A and B are shown apart, each in its own frame.
Chain A
Amino acid sequence: MHEMGIACSIIEAVEKELLRYPGCRATKVGVRIGEFAGVDGESLRFCFEAMVKDSPYAPLELGIEARGGDELDLGWIELDEMETGRGQAEAPVPHLKEACA
C-alpha cells in the first residue's frame, strides 16, 4: 500500500512549506487526486490521519479534491498563527521523519 508513502510525502511537503511561514501552524492541506493517479483517497486519508495523530501536527486535516486525470498534486495549505509565536517549522517532528525514511 503506497498511500503511506504518499502521506509521508504530503507531510514532508507541509514541513517544507511551513519554513516560509515562521510562527504559523498548518491546519489543513489540500491535495488533488486524479482518477488515474493510482491512489485511493480513503486509504490515503487513513494513513495520513494515522501519521498525524499524536504528533505535533495534530489535528492537521487532509482535504481531497477529486480530478479527472492522473495528477497527484498539492493544492493549498491552510495556516493559523500560533499564539506562542513558535511555529511548527521550529518544532521538528523527528518521529515522522523516521517513519518516512
Chain B
Amino acid sequence: MIQVPVERKVLSENERVAAELRTALEVTGTLALNFIGSPGAGKTAFLERTLQLLRAGTRAAVLTGDIQTENDAIRLGRYGYPVRQITTAGACHLDARMVEKYMWEWRFEEFELLFIENVGNLVCPTSYDLGEDGKVVVLSVAEGEDKPLKYPGIFRKAELMILNKVDLLPYVPFKAELACEYARRINPAIEIIRTSAITGAGFDQWMSWLDLRAEKKRAGNNRAAAASHAGAFQQI
C-alpha cells in the first residue's frame, strides 16, 4: 500500500469553470455579485428595488436561482433588464457550471453589472465559487440575530451584509446591534448596510456602495489593461 499526495481542491472542476467566468468578467469589467441568504430573507425584493433604482441606461442583468418555479424571474423581469431563471431541480445551491450554461447566450461585455441571486440557503452556496467579484449575504430581522454565529461560513466569505426588512424592527425582538456585532466577530472586515425593500430605507447607501464597487472594478480593469499595454510596449 502506498499513499500518494493529491493537492487539489475537492471542487476543482467548479473552480476551473469559476476561474474561466472570472477571467471573462475581468476582461469586460463586469461587476458580478453573488447574493446568498436564507429563504425569505428578501433577496428578490431587495434586487427588485435595486433594479428600480438603477440609473437609466445601466447595463445590468440578473441570474436568479431556485429549486423550482420561474416566479422570481417573472418578478425581476418587470424592470426592463435581462433576467434568467436557473431552476436547479433539487440542488440547494448554484454552481459555476450552471452560471456558465445560463450565461452562454449573453455577451459579458454587454453588462456592467451582473446580479446572481443564489438558491435560498445559508450553507451550501458558500462552498461554490461562481466566478463572482464578491458575495453579499442577506440577513433579515425576521430571523435570529445569532445567524452569523450559527452559519459562520457565509459571513466569513461575504464582503457585505445586507440587514434587510428593517421596517419590521419595531415589531420583532431582533437585536440589530447584536447581529452586527456577531457578523463582525466572524468577519471584522465585513461591511453592513441596513435596508428595507418595502420602504426603501438604506437604499441610498446601498446604491452608493454599488456605484463605488463597480467603479473599483472598472478602475482595476483599466489598471490591468494599462499594465498589459505597458507589458506589450516593453516587449516591443
Contact = CB atoms under 8 A, between A and B. Distances in A.
B18 interface: no
| A contact residues, range | 20 to 34
A2 B67 CA distance: 13
| B contact residues, range | 20 to 34
A55 interface: no
B197 to A, nearest CB: 26
B22 interface: no
Interface in B90-145: 91-93, 95, 123-124, 126-128
Contacts of B123: 2, 38
A18 B6 CA distance: 11
Given A5-B91, A9-B13, A75 B154 contact: no
A1 B93 CA distance: 9
Interface string A1-37: 1100110011011000100010000010101000111
Given A2-B127, A78-B2, A80-B1, A38 B8 contact: no
B127 A6 contact: yes
Contacts of B1: 27, 78-80
B11 A72 contact: yes
Nearest to B92: A2
B152 interface: yes
Interface of B is mostly: mixed
Interface of A is mostly: mixed
Contact of B10 (A6, A70, A76, A77): A6
A1 B48 CA distance: 28
Given A6-B11, A31-B10, A70-B157, A78 B3 contact: yes
B80 interface: no
A60 B92 CA distance: 27
B153 A37 contact: yes
Contacts, number: 82
Contact of A79 (B4, B14, B128, B157): B4
B9 interface: yes
Given A2-B124, A38-B127, A73 B10 contact: yes
B127 A72 contact: yes
Nearest to B156: A36
A74 interface: yes
Give the top 10 A-B pairs by smallest Cβ distance, nearest first.
Answer: A38-B126, A2-B124, A38-B153, A36-B153, A74-B6, A38-B127, A72-B10, A78-B3, A36-B156, A38-B123
16 contacts: A5-B91, A9-B11, A9-B12, A9-B14, A12-B13, A17-B4, A36-B153, A38-B123, A38-B127, A72-B127, A74-B8, A75-B5, A76-B4, A76-B6, A77-B4, A78-B2
Given A12-B13, A37-B153, A79-B3, 11 more contacts: A9-B11, A9-B12, A9-B14, A17-B6, A29-B6, A36-B152, A36-B153, A72-B9, A73-B9, A74-B10, A75-B5
